Amino acid sequence: EAGVAQSPRYKIIEKRQSVAFWCNPISGHATLYWYQQILGQGPKLLIQFQNNGVVDDSQLPKDRFSAERLKGVDSTLKIQPAKLEDSAVYLCASSLFPGRGNTNEQFFGPGTRLTVL
Amino acid sequence: QQPVQSPQAVILREGEDAVINCSSSKALYSVHWYRQKHGEAPVFLMILLKGGEQKGHEKISASFNEKKQQSSLYLTASQLSYSGTYFCGLLAGKLIFGQGTTLQVKP
The kind and range of the H/E element at A89 are: strand A88-95
User: Is pLDDT larger for residue B57 or for residue A108?
Assistant: A108
What is the average pLDDT across B89-94?
83
Contacts of B61 (CB under 8 A, 6+ apart): B54, B73, B74, B76
CA atoms within 13 A on the CB side of B2: 12
Helix, strand, coil fractions of chain A, as percent rounded to 5? 10, 45, 45
Contacts of B31 in chain A (CB under 8 A): none
List, as one string, the DSSP characters of A74-89.
-EEEEESS--GGG-EE
Q: Residues A83-94: pLDDT tens digits?
A: 999 999 999 999
CB within 8 Å: A41 and B100: yes
Residue pair A9/A110 in contact by the 8 Å Cβ criterion: yes
| Among the partner residues B40, B44, B94, nearest to A56 by beta-carbon distance | B94
- Among A60-69, B7-16, B42-51, the range scoring the smallest mean pLDDT is B42-51
CB within 8 Å: B89 and A42: yes
Helix (H, G, I), strand (E, B) or coil at A71: helix
CB within 8 Å: A109 and B94: no
* pLDDT tier at A101, thresholds 50, 70, 90: very low
